């Protein structure tokens, strides 16, 4: 199966971001991809954390979700919409701080949403020069999520969903591996500082530990707010080999994922069978 990780440099304009996403999805489909992964916050990176509240949607309907479903149908493509802000079913009381879920949604080629994952781990970082705290506007999810993808080659892929900061919590991916996951998705918007230090090593570690493919679609560049994201979208095989990557700027990073390679790696090195805890 050919999979594509789409790298973007999203702005504060929802319309511009959707247009850029549509162009990259078309490029991925034209190149033969069956699965395309968009980055975290593909629909908006505003000047302020609260900006995402203005474009929130209820799960199941809204301009962003409708656009993704239409693109999946039009292109005959599996699309995982990196993340978008979804309104919690139980709205915050009047006067309370409003928060949204940072949700990743999977659409099949018929345009149906077949899986939803709400980001579980919320990023916080402060080095004295740059400061982030997603809990100011995000509500943490509580459950892992994976879905089955029947590819043209006859293999049924077990696809595990995660988002950005989740990458630092190995137990999430180990739980996915125990459930039979063979492809781990990591849509992200890593900061330049943390990405430079940890991005590649964490992605390759998650692939090696779980003998699984990893697809990571990232934000990569300087955004209108001045925020810098690391980029380096990549696809990694179960042995930790980087199959394809792009440093910065918008683009399509694509590689063929071979299910037989997973079986070979897990047969030669049956580490998943040797777990004690």
Instruction: Say if 43 falls within a structural domain.
Output: yes
**Chain segment 23-55, per-residue pLDDT in tens:** 999 999 999 999 999 999 999 999 999 999 999
Under the banding of pLDDT at 50, 70 and 90, the label for residue 96 is low
How sure is the predictor about 90, in pLDDT bands with cuts at 50, 70 and 90?
confident
CATH code of the domain covering residue 211:
3.60.110.10
Look over the chain and give the mean of its residue pLDDT values, rounded to a whole number. 96
Q: Tell me the average pLDDT across 82-98.
A: 81
Nearest to 118 by CA among 73, 164, 171, 159: 164
List the domain range (segments joined by +) for residue 124.
2-90+98-271
**Residue 91 reports pLDDT greater than 70:** no
Instruction: Answer whether residue 264 shows pLDDT above 60.
Output: yes
pLDDT at site 151: 97
pLDDT of residue 93: 59
Cβ within 8 Å of residue 128, ≥6 positions away = none
Is position 276 within any domain? no
pLDDT at 62: 98
pTM value? Answer: 0.97
- Whether 251 maps to a domain, the answer reads yes
152-211 per-position pLDDT tens digit: 999 999 999 999 999 999 999 999 999 999 999 999 999 999 999 999 999 999 999 999
| Percentage of the chain exceeding pLDDT 90 | 95
Residue 92 has pLDDT above 80, yes or no: no
Report the distance separating Cα 92 and Cα 95, nearest Å: 8
Does position 223 have pLDDT exceeding 60, yes or no? Answer: yes
Select the more confidently predicted residue: 93 or 199.
199
Quick check: is 277 in a domain? Answer: no
The count of other CB atoms within 10 Å of the CB of residue 240 is 17
Strand partners, 95: none
| Three-state secondary structure readout of 131-192 | EEEHHHCECCCCCCCEEEEECCCCCEEEEEECCHHHHHCHHHHHHHHHCCCCEEECCECCEH
> What pLDDT does 97 receive?
73
How many domains does the structure of the chain reveal? 1
Kindly report the CA angle at 149 between 246 and 32, in degrees rounded to 5?
45
Does pLDDT of 95 surpass 60? Answer: no
> Catalytic positions, please?
40, 119, 164
Contacts 24+ apart (CB under 8 A), 131-138: 132/191, 134/49, 134/102, 134/165, 136/49, 136/50, 136/97, 137/49, 137/50, 137/52, 137/53, 137/98, 137/99, 137/100, 138/99, 138/100, 138/101, 138/102
- Give residue 209's pLDDT: 98
């Amino acid at each position: 199966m050919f999979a594509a990780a789409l790298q973007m440099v999203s702005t504060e304009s929802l319309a511009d971001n959707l247009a850029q996403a549509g162009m990259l999805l078309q490029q991925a489909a034209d190149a033969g991809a069956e699965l395309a992964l968009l980055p975290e916050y593909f629909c908006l990176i505003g000047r302020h954390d609260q900006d995402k509240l203005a474009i929130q949607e209820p799960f199941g309907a809204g301009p962003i979700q409708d656009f993704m479903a239409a693109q999946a149908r039009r292109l005959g493509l599996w699309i995982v919409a990196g993340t978008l802000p979804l309104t919690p079913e139980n709205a915050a009381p009047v006067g309370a701080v409003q928060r949204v879920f940072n949700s990743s949604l999977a659409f099949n080629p018929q345009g149906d949403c077949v899986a939803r994952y709400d980001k579980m781990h919320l990023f916080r970082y402060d080095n004295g020069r740059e400061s982030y705290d997603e809990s100011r506007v995000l509500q943490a999810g509580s459950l892992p999520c994976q879905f089955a993808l029947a590819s043209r080659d006859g293999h049924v892929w077990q696809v595990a969903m995660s988002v950005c900061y989740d990458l630092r919590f190995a137990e999430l991916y180990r739980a996915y591996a125990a459930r039979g996951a063979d492809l781990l998705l990591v849509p992200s918007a890593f900061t330049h500082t943390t990405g430079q230090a940890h991005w590649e090593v964490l992605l390759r570690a998650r692939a090696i530990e779980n003998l699984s493919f990893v697809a990571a679609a990232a934000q990569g560049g300087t955004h209108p707010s001045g925020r810098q994201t690391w980029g380096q979208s990549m696809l990694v095989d179960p042995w930790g080999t980087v199959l394809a990557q792009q440093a910065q700027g918008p683009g399509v990073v694509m590689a063929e994922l071979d299910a037989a390679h997973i079986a070979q790696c897990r047969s030669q090195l049956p580490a998943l069978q040797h777990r004690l805890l």
